[in-house]
Chains A and B, each alone.
Chain A
Amino acid sequence: MSQFLQSPLSSILGVVAFWLALGTIGVALGRDRDGVRFVYPATALGGALIAWLAGTALGADPVSLVLPLGLPDLPFHLRLDSLSAFFLFLLGLAVTGVSLSAAGYFRAGSSPSPGLTCLQYHVFIAAMVMVILADDAYAFLVAWESMALASYFLVTTDHRHEEIRAAGFLYLVVAHVGAIALLVCFGVLQGQAGSFTFDAMRGVTIAAPWAGVAFSLALVGFGAKAGFLPLHAWLPEAHPAAPSPVSALMSGVMLKTAIYGLLRVTFDLLHTQASAWGVVALVIGLVTALFGVMFAAVQTDMKRLLAYSSIENVGVVLGAIGLAIVFRAHGMASLAALSLVAALYHCLNHAVVKSLLFSATGAVLHATDQRSLGRLGGLIHRMPWVAWLALVGALSLAGLPPLNGFVSEWLLLQSFLFSPDIPDGYLRMLVPLATAALVLAAAFAAYVMVKFYGVVFLGQPREPSLETAHDAGPWERAGLVFLAVWCVLLGLFPALVIRRIDAVTVQLLGEGLGDAATRDWLFLTPMATERASYGPALFLAVIASAVLATFAYVRVRHHGRLRRAPAWDCGYPAQTARMQDTAEGFGQPVKQIFEPFFRIERVIPDPFDRAPRYWSKTEDRLWYWLYLPVARLVAAVSAQVARLQHGRIQWYLVYSFVTLLALLIFIRL
């Protein structure tokens, strides 16, 4: 028994059981809203425990366990190795922060049935843990589908609105297309290995054509969950529809389970990778990143904006994974390790930052009942806690040092800068283009964050009702502070983090960055000191001292010469909220420059119109090029199938009768 409790894997399973019990308690408490919300701090405790346990398991020997559940001859195999430990750590951090703020979020009017929402929330996070722990295809898919279904019900929490039901349906359809691809992918692997356990799949080396098929299917299957182009359409619909803590977990953690699955299949189950896979992943990833960030720039709903920014970030991660595959295929293991570390670091950063920002939008949504950027503004005066903590998240997502977002983007750029060493002429020509795309995406990400933060928190309130907005409660503050502190820590001590992450690259690639890169906790030197190194703590010290010196200088020099004047009086004595830059206005340059990528409907009023109305709608072209034709095709096929439906029992009986006879005759032959 004590042995059982000592193993981190069993303790994690204990936390999962604890979460499921909390979910049941939530149902039992039912409609007693204030009772239900105090379940969430306990959830956060479980999340912190998982993060701590996973942290200790990172780099330790893999632990396996067989649960007596599942099919008769295929019990659930579980395994905790460095890769799963890393993603569990990420999950634990995000769940802790989000659950703390969920205790504040679910306080009033947020959900028609708080008890059920509580149950689904806990099933959702428990299923995500099981996805990461699963060590056979059956357990993996069971957990994967539980995760998809639980999140579907969470997305449709507010199912009384037609558009939320539609968003949920789209999500469910794409999730199932992905699940089918995964089912076939594991089928291919099982066909080669002879067993559904990952151990058996690890044991065989799969020949080139089948390995390629398995990788493509995994890319489609996990891509549908992660939101890679062109399977991204559900993401900007489902994220705004869900309650904010759920959006935070979906964006912060669920997208990462897809990345986890892709890494597991690509590097752990398949042993050899072809360079072409990497090129495909790199191209899809960077196109996804650019697409996501461009659409984020023109959004007018703050949660949709963040959802598109999530598309961008998973695209960047996929690009890094693609680069790692290319390096690996050319036998450049240490560079592969560098790109993989960048990908993993970016996953971790994005999980923390997106949880922070979505939770912050939850607090804003609660205080103002507004999601549209056109009706927000000036909240930094009313909600200082949320505004300052969201600033940390926004700066980090914009990729500014010394926060965490910069570290992973810098690492990724470093690995791109090393790619001229690739011994393949065409690839060398592709790489500068890819680097340019990455840099463009990173720059746009900063632009998007300026828009998000500036429109929501700065300037003047755009609606009179915002004057009465109240700051977040203690629980929400606690959650936001927790996540913001991690943003800073991950940014200031990258060497310590990478020392841990290196265990994952050693497991997946057989080689890591090595001690040299991380020996010095102050400086990060991924390859060699003469190439590049980055010392975030030093950077912070320089910035801080520059700020302090300026402050001191101004104070000494100009102290006592205080002059009071009306604010913004430079020619605008009557400044109103309508004079400031709007979300649409800020996104206008992107809309102009990249017009061919958008499908824009504009209605421009006549100059002589007395009551002019102007509106424009920006849509995704892929929706019209891909999704609607597929939907029409499905409708046409099902209309043909519907001819079978006569409504006459006799005909239905004839169908079964003919089938029976045909089968009997088939057996006889």
Chain B
Amino acid sequence: MSLAGQIVNLIAALLLLVSFAMLSQRRVRDLVDLFMIQGALLAAATLVTAVATGQSHLYYSAALTVALKVIVLPLILRRVLRRLALETDVELLINIPTTMLVGIALVVVAFNMAVPISQLAGTITRGALGIALACVLLAFLMMITRRKALAQVVGFLSMENGLFFAATSVTYGMPMVVELGIALDVLVGTFVFGVFFFRIRETFDSLDTSHFEKLKDR
């Protein structure tokens, strides 16, 4: 395997590690830091792929990732955190060891899923697809097990990271138009969520999503 391929695999492994770290992290503030690291790793992986394959649009992708996921989104999230004074612990629905065990099972499932697809893909980074899929599922799991709305937003963004990584590893990234569109969506989505946080807190005096039960029909 080429050097670039090995580096990408290493970064992929780190990404998976970060995903597990996010799953086990209690503090929302540290969750945002982990999200930033994940973004940086993703940008690095894209950059390495770009250098190794000479696909010029991947450079733009990497730059976009750095700008959006390492700088802008963490800034917005930290601002929201400060404004809402939310730097305390995250309340979990399921305890951390159980979550981790479920996470391991998900990784196994993800790798199993990825086998036929990565055999079809002709890219140097195809081995990373399983990890990318695992990142998506783990982020999803994180969204399910957290109570605070903010943690769910981080989970959502992290899921998008996993998808992005999957696209890079299988086909050297999506077409630029699609990538730009998704980047914009994520940015706008974060703003909308930001607004919602304030509205939610105004309504329920808390960001705990279990209060949403009151919104039911009956």
Contacts and interface: CB of A to CB of B under 8 A. Distances in A.
A649 B140 contact: no
B109 A647 contact: no
A433 interface: no
Given A649-B152, A668-B113, A657 B214 contact: no
A664 B141 CA distance: 16
Contact of A664 (B113, B214, B216): B113
B210 A648 contact: yes
Contacts of A642: 217-218
Given A657-B140, A657-B141, A660-B140, A649 B109 contact: no
Interface string B197-218: 0000000000001101111111
A634 to B, nearest CB: 16
A642 to B, nearest CB: 7
Contacts of A657: 137, 140-141, 144
B212 A648 contact: yes
Contacts of B216: 645-647
A661 B133 CA distance: 11
Contact of B212 (A647, A653, A654, A661): A647
Contacts of A592: none
A649 B141 contact: no
A649 B217 contact: no
B109 A661 contact: yes
B116 interface: yes
B112 interface: yes
A650 interface: yes
A648 B213 CA distance: 6
B25 interface: no
A29 to B, nearest CB: 37
Given A657-B140, A657-B141, A660-B140, A647 B213 contact: yes
B93 interface: yes
A650 B217 contact: no
Nearest to A660: B140
A656 B144 CA distance: 10
Contact of A648 (B109, B113, B116, B209): B209
Contacts of A646: 213, 216
Interface string B93-120: 1000000000000000100110010000
Contacts of B123: none
Interface string B134-162: 00010011011111010010000000000
Contacts of B209: 648-650
A668 B112 contact: yes
A653 B217 contact: no
Contacts of B116: 668
A403 B116 CA distance: 77
Interface residues of B, number: 24
A451 to B, nearest CB: 47
B144 A654 contact: yes
A290 to B, nearest CB: 43
Contacts of A654: 144
Nearest to B136: A660
Nearest to B145: A650
B214 A647 contact: yes
Contacts of B210: 648
Tell which of A645, A646, A650, A660 has the most Cβ of chain B within 10 Å: A650
Contacts of A668: 112-113, 116
Contacts of B212: 647-649
Contacts of A650: 93, 143-147, 209
A647 B210 CA distance: 8
B43 to A, nearest CB: 26
A664 B113 CA distance: 7
A642 B216 CA distance: 10
A542 B140 CA distance: 88
A657 B140 CA distance: 7
Contacts of B143: 650, 653
Nearest to A648: B213
Interface string A634-669: 000000001001111110011011001100110110
A664 B109 contact: yes
A654 B141 CA distance: 8
A77 B59 CA distance: 47
Nearest to B211: A647
B160 to A, nearest CB: 15
A664 B108 CA distance: 13
A337 to B, nearest CB: 57
Interface string A420-462: 0000000000000000000000000000000000000000000
A636 B141 CA distance: 33
A363 B109 CA distance: 72
Contacts of A645: 216-217
Contacts of B113: 664-665, 667-668
A384 B213 CA distance: 65
B188 to A, nearest CB: 20
A641 to B, nearest CB: 11
Contacts of A664: 109, 113
A667 B144 CA distance: 24
Question: Residue among B112, B116, B144, B149 with the most chain A CB within 10 A?
Answer: B144
Q: Pick from A642, A645, A649, A661 the residue with the most CB of B within 10 Å.
A: A649
A653 B213 contact: no
A492 to B, nearest CB: 62
A124 B212 CA distance: 42
A660 B152 CA distance: 18
A488 to B, nearest CB: 58
A664 B112 CA distance: 10
A635 to B, nearest CB: 13
A653 B144 contact: yes
Interface-central residue, A656, A660, A668, by most chain B CB under 10 Å:
A668
Nearest to B133: A664
B197 to A, nearest CB: 13
A642 B218 CA distance: 9
Nearest to A657: B140
A645 B147 CA distance: 18
B92 to A, nearest CB: 11
A573 to B, nearest CB: 66
Interface in B160-176: none
Interface in B30-57: none
A635 B113 CA distance: 40
B178 to A, nearest CB: 19
Contacts of B137: 657, 660-661
20 contacts: A642-B217, A642-B218, A645-B217, A646-B216, A647-B212, A649-B149, A649-B152, A649-B209, A650-B143, A650-B209, A653-B140, A653-B144, A653-B152, A654-B144, A657-B140, A657-B144, A664-B109, A665-B113, A667-B113, A668-B113
Given A647-B212, A650-B145, A656-B140, 10 more contacts: A642-B218, A648-B210, A648-B213, A649-B149, A649-B152, A653-B152, A657-B137, A657-B140, A661-B137, A668-B116
Closest 4 CB pairs of A and B: A647-B213, A647-B216, A653-B144, A649-B209
